């Protein structure tokens, strides 16, 4: 079902492109197996699963792809990986990888999450199903395959590469800043023109969603119980005692209710919008251009919903999506949750939450305002545990990383839209912010879905020439490296 690789205007820029494309095609079985093998080794920071093995595997993947050196960088949590490939080029690009994945329950999957089976995906083609398929191991393996193909053709890469990888992205990059702070890593990144993360950015119609940044994320827990106050029992007690003993679950509910307005979604934390930067006219223009009825229908189908908040028009919902910070409850745990009832008064209640932050909010500001908000209302018995987080990131539309994407897509005839930021998060702010102050972007074609959900998938063979499968995705990374090198050279002239 594999399709012939598209050869378009990119062939004029990428030397020996036909030869490289043949190598990519010949590499396909090895590339596919590399992805399947990587998926079979999940690193899950929240479960402390495969932290050491995952880092070593990432290091070996980098060396196998052609990086001349790769080393594990210890942190106070899960280690990171740092690798370099010096091709003697005048331009250096930073690459960000995550090698960790979200938790999974095999009972919720129709295909085993660690077996990475190839399965038909309706009329779209053939997809690989597995945890990490699209977020982010699939795009990352395709990028590594692009490096291998260029080197196998006998050519040097047109750019030097600096790779930084972490195993804690799925818990909000708790210790990733420690990796970048290592002088050797920081100095290598400082020589780059920017950093990008490989992604699968195509919609079902083949259009690519480009983004100029991403929201920040802060993950935390609110805990009430015997460990936070002597008002609550140290262990579950008979429910009749609720007449004389406070229930920590009710207390937690009361605290949670103060964090949002009566509508259930607008943040109500004191001073929350103090530093929220409104959308610019250009950003509103980009959103309006993306607000197409067919895209709205596709999004609603994917999300399984029939209307947006307040039954708002699609354009308004997109403005909210990209511009609004959020206070979200991920989960609530308290007392008995088994079959039927159980007459207990729980000794502990916990809520798992997240903030999504927009420019110009910061992680430290968000945490401080949350704590102050709860204390002001007398919730001194609510314990706040921040497990990880970082602020939002932004990159200018005229940065080399972005202009190179626009040029590549335009010349290759790939439709694209530009969005002010990704409503999801990645720790680009660690590169955007001081001391590096680098552009940070996402880039990639290909299509997938189900990140963080059951049956996560990546399209391997596409039945639509507009939507790229594994081989065309790999070749697009090849082309991107050459376009970036050319765009950077123009800036030096």
What does the pLDDT average to over 394-405? Answer: 97
Res 8: pLDDT: 45
The DSSP 8-state label assigned to residue 6 in this structure reads P
**Per-residue pLDDT reduced to its tens digit, 174-216:** 999 999 999 999 999 999 999 999 999 999 999 999 999 999 9
**Per-residue pLDDT reduced to its tens digit, 57-70:** 999 999 999 999 99
Beta strands in 278-340 (DSSP E): 326-334
Alpha-carbon distances, residue 36 vs 31, 41, 448 (angstroms): 9, 9, 15
417 pLDDT band, cuts 50/70/90, is: very high
| Whole-number Å distance between alpha carbons of 296 and 151 | 42
The DSSP 8-state label assigned to residue 467 in this structure reads S
Query: What residues does 488 pair with on adjacent strands?
Result: none
How many separate helices (H) and strands (E) can be counted in the chain? 13, 20
Token duo for residue 304: 């399984």
| Whole-number Å distance between alpha carbons of 64 and 428 | 26
466 pLDDT band, cuts 50/70/90, is: very high
Average pLDDT along the chain:
95
Query: What residues does 126 pair with on adjacent strands?
Result: 120, 461
Domains of the chain: 9-212+395-492 (3.40.630.10), 216-276+325-387 (3.30.70.360)
**Per-residue pLDDT reduced to its tens digit, 279-333:** 999 999 999 998 989 889 989 998 999 999 999 999 999 999 999 999 999 999 9
Token duo for residue 212: 């100029």
Question: Helix (H, G, I), strand (E, B), or coil: what is residue 428?
Answer: coil
**pLDDT of 1 strictly over 70:** no
**pLDDT of 2 strictly over 50:** no
CA 139 to chain CA mean position, Å: 12
Res 302: pLDDT: 85
Q: Is the dihedral of CA 469, 486, 181, 214 positive or negative?
A: negative
**Per-residue pLDDT reduced to its tens digit, 38-93:** 999 999 999 999 999 999 999 999 999 999 999 999 999 999 999 999 999 999 99
**pLDDT of 119 strictly over 90:** yes
458 pLDDT band, cuts 50/70/90, is: very high
Residue pair 19/153 in contact by the 8 Å Cβ criterion:
yes
Residue pair 490/17 in contact by the 8 Å Cβ criterion:
no
| Whole-number Å distance between alpha carbons of 53 and 81 | 12
| Whole-number Å distance between alpha carbons of 72 and 82 | 6
Residue pair 357/272 in contact by the 8 Å Cβ criterion:
no
List all residues 6 or more positions away from 49 whose beta carbon is below 8 Å from its beta carbon. Answer: 42, 43
Instruction: Characterise 65 by phi-psi region: left (phi > 0), alpha (psi -120 to 50), beta (else).
Output: alpha
Res 11: pLDDT: 40
Query: What residues does 83 pair with on adjacent strands?
Result: 70, 163
| Whole-number Å distance between alpha carbons of 328 and 306 | 20
In percent, the amount of the chain with pLDDT more than 70 equals: 98
pTM score: 0.91
Residue pair 239/344 in contact by the 8 Å Cβ criterion:
yes
493 pLDDT band, cuts 50/70/90, is: confident
**pLDDT of 3 strictly over 90:** no
Short-list 368, 409, 55, 374, CA closest to 210: 409
Residue pair 369/272 in contact by the 8 Å Cβ criterion:
yes
In percent, the amount of the chain with pLDDT more than 90 equals: 95
**pLDDT of 6 strictly over 90:** no
Residue pair 248/348 in contact by the 8 Å Cβ criterion:
yes
Res 384: pLDDT: 98
């Amino acid at each position: 079902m594999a399709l012939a690789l598209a050869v378009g205007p990119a062939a004029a820029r990428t030397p020996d492109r036909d030869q490289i494309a043949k190598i990519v095609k010949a590499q396909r079985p090895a590339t596919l197996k590399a992805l399947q093998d990587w998926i079979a080794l999940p690193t899950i920071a929240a479960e402390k699963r495969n932290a050491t093995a995952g880092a070593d595997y990432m290091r070996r993947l980098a060396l196998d792809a052609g990086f001349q050196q790769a080393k594990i960088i210890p942190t106070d949590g899960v280690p990171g990986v740092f690798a370099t490939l010096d091709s003697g080029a005048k331009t250096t690009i930073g690459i960000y990888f995550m090698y960790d994945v979200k938790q999974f329950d095999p009972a919720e999957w129709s295909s085993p999450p660690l077996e990475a089976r190839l399965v038909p995906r309706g009329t779209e083609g053939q997809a690989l199903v597995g945890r990490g398929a699209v977020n982010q191991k699939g795009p990352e393996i395709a990028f590594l395959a692009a490096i291998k193909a260029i080197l196998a053709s006998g050519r040097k890469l047109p750019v030097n590469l600096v790779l930084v990888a972490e195993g804690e992205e799925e818990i909000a990059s708790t210790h990733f800043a420690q990796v970048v702070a290592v002088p050797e890593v920081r100095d290598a990144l400082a020589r780059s023109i920017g950093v990008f993360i490989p992604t699968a950015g195509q919609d079902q119609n083949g259009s690519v969603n480009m983004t100029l940044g991403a929201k920040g994320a802060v993950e935390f827990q609110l805990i009430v119980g015997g460990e936070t106050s002597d008002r609550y029992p140290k262990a579950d007690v008979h429910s009749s005692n609720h007449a004389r003993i406070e229930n920590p679950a009710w207390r937690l509910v009361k605290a949670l209710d103060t964090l949002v307005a009566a509508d259930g979604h607008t943040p109500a934390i004191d001073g929350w919008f103090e530093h929220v930067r409104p959308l610019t006219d250009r950003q509103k223009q980009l959103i309006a251009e993306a607000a197409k009825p067919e895209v709205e229908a596709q999004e609603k189908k994917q999300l399984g919903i029939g209307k947006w908040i307040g039954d708002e028009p699609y354009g308004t919902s997109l403005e909210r999506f990209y511009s609004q910070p959020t206070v979200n409850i991920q989960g609530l745990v308290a007392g008995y949750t088994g079959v039927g009832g159980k007459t207990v008064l729980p000794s502990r209640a916990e809520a798992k939450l997240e903030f999504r932050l927009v420019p110009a909010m910061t992680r430290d500001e968000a945490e401080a305002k949350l704590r102050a908000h709860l204390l002001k209302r007398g919730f001194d018995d609510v314990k706040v545990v921040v497990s990880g987080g970082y602020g939002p990131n932004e990159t200018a539309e005229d940065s080399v990383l972005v202009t190179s994407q626009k040029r590549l897509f335009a010349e290759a005839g790939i439709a694209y839209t530009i969005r002010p930021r990704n409503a999801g998060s990645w720790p680009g702010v660690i590169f955007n912010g001081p001391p590096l102050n680098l552009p940070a972007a996402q880039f990639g074609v290909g299509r997938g879905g189900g990140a963080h959900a059951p049956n996560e998938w990546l399209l391997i063979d596409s039945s639509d020439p507009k939507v790229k499968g594994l081989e065309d995705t790999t070749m697009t990374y090849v082309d991107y490296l050459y376009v970036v090198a050319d765009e950077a050279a123009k800036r030096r002239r």
